[in-house]
Amino acid sequence: MLKGVAAAGTAFTLWGVFPAYLRLMQQVPPLEILSHRVLWSAAFLLVVLGARRQWDWLAEVRARPRIALSFVASAAMLGTNWVVYIWSVNAGHVIDASLGYFITPLFNVLFGMALGERLRPVQWLSVLLAAGGVLWLTVSAGELPWIGLVIAITFSLYGVIRKTATLGALEGLSVETLVMLPLAAAFLLLPGSGSSHAFGAEPGITALLLSAGPVTAVPLLLFAYGARRIPLSVVGLLQYIGPSLQLMLGVWLYGEPFGGARMLGFALIWTGLALYSVEGLWRHLTSR
């Protein structure tokens, strides 16, 4: 179990400091960063699959086209999540992006309810507190916190789709990146697409774009390794490492405003998350 906690904790820590990596490429358009992320992730994953000689899943995808269609849907959710996240970080909205990953677990609960799962009383209270926090942020700021909501909804829907997928984490991510690859290549190669053609223009930026493959894939593979070896309740607690680190980066490193009404809204959300996490951990311990 210790290896699982270490792997999953490392994955969430890497995701937590990801804004610092993106801010080094602030001059590159978000769609261009996304396209390179897809391109080099696909290359990295194919190398890993080749090294492991892990190609059996291709026959399953060819034999069952519905599998490919489900990954088209998950790729759409993942691509939307990535581009909104990249834009928000480089536009100075790191705290808003962290909000999305704070409230993702509660959107998972809501989507589970839509699929027929029944909520326990503490889960209802958690969702209501988080909804109150989002409502307060909306009223106090005069606008819907759309960045956090889009990130949370797309990532939750991505999880719902992947939950029913038959492929493993490595194979599934490979299919998703291959689905997005034609669009990424078109953006990078076609004239008038909006690409700044930063790749190759400056060694530092080129190295950062090349590293997008392992930077994307390694945390996902660590998470997949760890999640199989630890209880879901422990995963649920560890997952707050990422948005907590993002929030700290936004406040302390990038100087984004965080006080007064905004802090109160986050406090309501954190209270709901604390109830949700403690109740889940308690049920796991008592069931044992």
Mean pLDDT of 202-222: 90
CB 262 within 8 A of CB 133: no
Domain boundaries, the chain: 2-287
pTM for this prediction: 0.90
pLDDT at 288: 65
Residues of the chain with pLDDT > 90, as a percent, come to 45
| Res 250 pLDDT > 70 | yes
Rounded distance between C-alpha atoms, residue 196 and residue 213, angstroms: 20
| Res 234 pLDDT > 80 | no
CB 223 within 8 A of CB 5: no
Rounded distance between C-alpha atoms, residue 288 and residue 70, angstroms: 35
Spell out the residues 6+ positions from residue 232 whose beta carbon is closer than 8 angstroms to its own.
Answer: 280, 284
Q: When comparing pLDDT for 28 and 68, which is higher?
A: 28
Residue 64: pLDDT band by 50, 70, 90 thresholds?
confident
Chain segment 100-136, per-residue pLDDT in tens: 999 888 888 788 777 777 778 888 888 899 889 999 9
pLDDT at 248: 94
Q: When comparing pLDDT for 162 and 144, which is higher?
A: 144
Closest CA to 108 of 243, 273, 281: 273
| Res 287 pLDDT > 80 | no
pLDDT at 132: 92
pLDDT at 25: 94
User: Can you read off the two tokens belonging to residue 127?
Assistant: 């969702």
Rounded distance between C-alpha atoms, residue 55 and residue 85, angstroms: 32
Question: Any idea what the Cα angle at residue 263 is, between residues 101 and 124, rounded to 5°?
Answer: 55
User: What 3-state class would DSSP assign to 165?
Assistant: coil
